[in-house]
Amino acid sequence: MKNDPYKKAGVDIKAGNDLVDKIRKDVASTFDKNVLGGIGSFSGFYSLPKGFKNPVLVACTDGVGTKVALAQKNSSMGTIGQDLVAMCVNDMVTSGAHPLFFLDYFASSKLNVTETATVIKGIAKACKKTNCSLIGGETAEMPNHYIGKNFDLAGFSVGIVEKKLIIDTSKVKKNNIIIGIESSGAHSNGYSLINKLIKESKLSKSEKEKLIKLALKPTHLYTNVILDLVKKVKVKSIANITGGGLTENIPRSIPNTLSSEIYLKNWKMPKFFATLQKLGEIEMSDMLRIFNCGIGMTVIIEPRELDSTIKVLSKHKFKGFMIGKVIKKSSSAITFI
């Protein structure tokens, strides 16, 4: 329309339609045989896979937080989609669940079709890597609510697991060992602090660019390696090291009747985190509470299964470290040594 009143209010319907056309093939490429219908419907439809005797659905939702601001400021939108998918499916796989489908929500002050398409293409790519169908999503323009070029992302995923195979904390015992699986960086946590440290740092331009590049590394997708691991090793419990760092997430994978001790010397904290610690003069206790410090996921196993576990991780090109063990109940749920 020549004098479109909605466009004058800041919402461009045509841009939304252009976006759908731009991402249609990428979204469709994630569909498996259980997807019914296609992009453009009011809802996404997904048939439950066959072969389960007592299936349980598992649902997760999350966002990328202020990492989006750093990505947008540095024109690096290609991997934010993987961050979004990872934040959901990495939580889901801690229960042993296979992801089935994913939905995204993209809200902005003004829809930039190219930028938004780049993000959604990244989501689709990550969904394909994790055998997860992108069956729906929503984009919203909200002028005067989001300011300037700001936008936000949210994701929602559903998976499935056989009830008797659900992984929880019930089988964790004293003297079980804790294996840490390497992270790719900060993943998508702690970025309000990271952004502040980068902005206020007195690093040279080249040093700052290197730090930003490390900060924008996409979150590892752990689905495939964990699902392979639980087939070959009796995994007792799993923790995704997200908000709250090692300090708060490892205790979530251990019964309240037990505690854990973590050996900080058993892995080397990546230089990226060491740089952040130095820039902010951050105490080690705070580093462990805010960041993953190089450990993106932990699994608890019997000591005799250490070699088998490391072998599976290596096959998927992940480094693993024996970072701690489960101990009798103490005054603290977790102790760092």
pLDDT tens-digit series, residues 181-232: 999 999 999 999 999 999 999 999 999 999 999 999 999 999 999 999 999 9
Global confidence as pTM: 0.94
- The pLDDT assigned to 5 comes to 67
Task: Tell me the sheet residues that pair with 133.
Answer: 101
Tell me the torsion sign for CA atoms 28, 183, 62, 169: positive
Query: Smallest Cα–Cα separation from 224: which of 325, 313, 326?
Result: 313
d(CA 143, CA 279): 36
- The pLDDT assigned to 12 comes to 64
d(CA 68, CA 282): 24
> CB-based burial of residue 83 (10 Å sphere; 0-12 exposed, 13-18 middle, 19+ buried)?
buried
In which residue ranges of the chain is CATH 3.90.650.10 found?
A: 177-336
Indicate the CATH number for domain 177-336: 3.90.650.10
Would you state the structure tokens that stand for residue 20, as one six-digit string?
């759908």
d(CA 182, CA 315): 14
- Mention the CATH class of domain 5-165: alpha beta
Would you state the structure tokens that stand for residue 211, as one six-digit string?
């730090």
- The pLDDT assigned to 8 comes to 52
In which residue ranges of the chain is CATH 3.30.1330.10 found?
A: 5-165
Q: Do residues 300 and 235 touch, judged by C-beta distance below 8 A?
A: yes
- The pLDDT assigned to 329 comes to 96
Residues of the chain with pLDDT under 70: 1-3, 5-13, 39-40
- The pLDDT assigned to 144 comes to 82
Cα separation values, 147 from 46, 191, 283, Å: 36, 19, 34
- The pLDDT assigned to 233 comes to 97
- The pLDDT assigned to 145 comes to 87
d(CA 98, CA 161): 6
Q: Do residues 333 and 272 touch, judged by C-beta distance below 8 A?
A: no
- The pLDDT assigned to 18 comes to 82
- The pLDDT assigned to 10 comes to 60
The helix/strand/coil state of 80 is: helix
Element (H, E) at 256: none
